[in-house]
Chain A
Amino acid sequence: MLWYKAWLETRWRFAIGLAILMLSACGIVFAYPQVARLMPLASNIEARGEIGRRVQEAVQLARDYRGYVWSQWFRQNLIQMWTVFAALLGAGGLLSQTSGGAALYTLSMPASRTRLLGVRAAAGLGELLVLAIAPSLLIPLLSPAVGDSYSVVDVLVHGACLFFGGAVFYALAMLLSTIFPDIWRPLLIALAVAVALAIGEMFVRDVWPYGLFSLMNGETYFRTRHVPWAGLVVTTAAAAALLYGAASSLERRDF
């Protein structure tokens, strides 16, 4: 029944995330014909610096449908919104219920704190897995409507990269939720870490190509068709370590 409670607690956050991501995936597919029409004009764009380089790269990638989907969906829209919902789903929990007093009711159940946290973590990760894959599955489903096709295998691999790479943000929000008794600080700190990493990654991209976000967007798989196993193992281990930290922190806490 802890599953049931975890689901009831997070269902609206999950449902809103799913709806937004699905709408966004539809938008990506149905915007492609217009993007394809604008392609001849894009070669005249002149821009300098990192932003200019990224614009030129996006234009190059958008010349074929697979490149367009990766650059607009897996590298931008999905990864950004999914990270926000990872932090949102990870924030909250037992400690944030303390101010309302409901934490004592949960703690009066014959279940260990590790089990309470474990079930909540598993439920949240399950929801995040759905958010990483289900909206993207609309792309192969809807692509024939714009006269193109997209591989389901690509969706699954990119979804796995996003999930196993980005689970660290969820785990970080969970760990912070065992320290701060509100939902906002864990959410904001986890997002601030994500933004800092993304900005840092953008500037060191040429000298250090192994950033977390390029792992999450599956760039290696997109360019070489190789799954970045080593990176996924490292981030999964990091997420597991953060969850272990969360369980230890919760175990020590007085309510």
Chain B
Amino acid sequence: MADVPVIDIAGLRKRYGSVDAVCGLDLQVPRGSIYGFLGRNGAGKTTTIKVLLGMARPSGGAARVFGLAADAPDASVEIRRRTGFVSEDKELFDFMTVEEIVRFTAPFFPRWRRDLEERYRRTFELRGAIRVKALSRGMRTKLALLLALCRGAELLVLDEPTAGLDPAATEEVLQALVGHVARDETTIFFSSHQIAEVEQIADRIAIVDRGRAVLAGALDDLRESFRRVQLVFDRDAPQAAFRAAGVARVRRQGRVLTVIASGGAEPILDEARALGPVSVDVAPVTLKEIFLETVATEE
């Protein structure tokens, strides 16, 4: 069972009218991972999450969670029983108080964690009598997180969990998530376009653009394999067409030629040196650069 991915998406497509929100997405989320699902606005992140939780029907392909088909109504109920969810806008029931929405949610989940409920109520300073409508965005996010974390879920699906939060609240939410995973061995699948927070807590990522995964893997492996090779010439940098595999992007700017390599620097160094630069510099690439280069390549 350990090898079976918690989320397994193959060739997923979702079309709204004439718009392809997701087109041929492939993705596997291993059990116990913190999986960052990166992409620009409108890249298909939220649609993918909705398909996983049975809120939208796929137009094609397959999405399985815990080995269960996400588009089968009965299986979808079972998936949601084992999953905690925080939506992008963190909207809850405005007509309820904090106490009422907790009392509403808890009976649906047989493994509801009363101990965590008390802990997070204290940590997040959520008073039971206050109306959800009266909560600030930050407090609403914390309440949504409490309601997701206390379900005793095997999987947490979080859609932009820190969107709209100030840096202090963001840090508090991220720490709560990391602490939760460390204690309960939960799998987290979270979408974001905040690269810094993905880098802070994720161990695996997928970058999605225009409904397709353009890059996926362990974050450390990606950092290891992506390299920036910078060539400085004593004249204007030449036009260069690299034949080696793994050249993600080539940029010319005056006397400098920058090559982003996705398969390490070695395969392109020989070709680079043959161009006669005065210096060759190889440097690691940040996740932000990987993201920007990957998405830009897709333009």
Contact = CB atoms under 8 A, between A and B. Distances in A.
A9 interface: yes
Given A5-B104, A8-B95, A8-B100, A254 B16 contact: yes
Interface stretch (A52-60, A105-113, A188-196): A105-113
A101 B91 contact: yes
Contacts of A108: 53, 55, 80, 83, 85, 87
Which of B73, B78, B83, B87: most chain A Cβ within 10 A?
Answer: B87
Interface stretch (B105-113, B227-235, B247-255, B269-277): B105-113
Contacts of A105: 85, 87, 91-93, 144
B153 to A, nearest CB: 11
A104 B144 CA distance: 12
Contacts of B73: 112-113, 251
Contacts of A111: 77, 108
Given A1-B104, A111-B108, A255-B56, A104 B95 contact: no
Contact of A102 (B55, B74, B93): B93
A9 B95 contact: yes
B56 A254 contact: yes
A4 interface: yes
B94 interface: yes
B89 interface: yes
A247 to B, nearest CB: 12
A116 to B, nearest CB: 11
Contacts of A40: none
Interface string B58-83: 00000000000000011001101101
From B90, B91, B96, residue with most partner A Cβ within 10 Å = B91
A110 B87 contact: no
A104 B78 contact: no
Give the residue among A109, A110, A111, A251 with the most B Cβ atoms within 10 A.
A110
Interface in A223-242: none
Nearest to A255: B55
A49 B16 CA distance: 56
A219 B88 CA distance: 54
Given A1-B107, A112-B77, A107 B95 contact: no
B40 interface: no
A109 B89 contact: no
A147 interface: no
Interface residues of A, number: 21
Nearest to B144: A105
Contacts of B88: 101
A107 B83 CA distance: 12
Interface in A79-134: 100-102, 104-105, 107-113
B223 interface: no
Contacts of A104: 50, 55, 85, 87, 91
Interface in B7-31: 16
Contacts of B144: 105
Nearest to B80: A110
Contact of A8 (B53, B55, B96): B96
A4 B55 contact: no
A255 B104 CA distance: 22
Given A254-B16, A255-B55, A255-B56, A109 B105 contact: yes
B54 interface: yes
Contacts of B55: 104, 107-108, 254-255
Contacts of A255: 50, 55-56
B183 interface: no
Interface string A34-53: 00000000000000000000
Nearest to B104: A1
Nearest to A252: B57
B103 interface: yes
Interface of B: 16, 50, 53-57, 73-74, 77-78, 80-81, 83, 85, 87-96, 100, 103-105, 107-109, 144
22 contacts: A1-B104, A8-B95, A8-B96, A8-B100, A101-B88, A101-B90, A104-B85, A104-B87, A104-B91, A105-B85, A105-B92, A108-B83, A108-B87, A109-B105, A110-B78, A110-B80, A110-B109, A112-B73, A251-B73, A254-B57, A255-B55, A255-B56
Given A105-B85, A254-B50, 11 more contacts: A4-B104, A5-B96, A101-B91, A102-B93, A104-B50, A104-B85, A108-B85, A108-B87, A110-B81, A111-B108, A254-B55
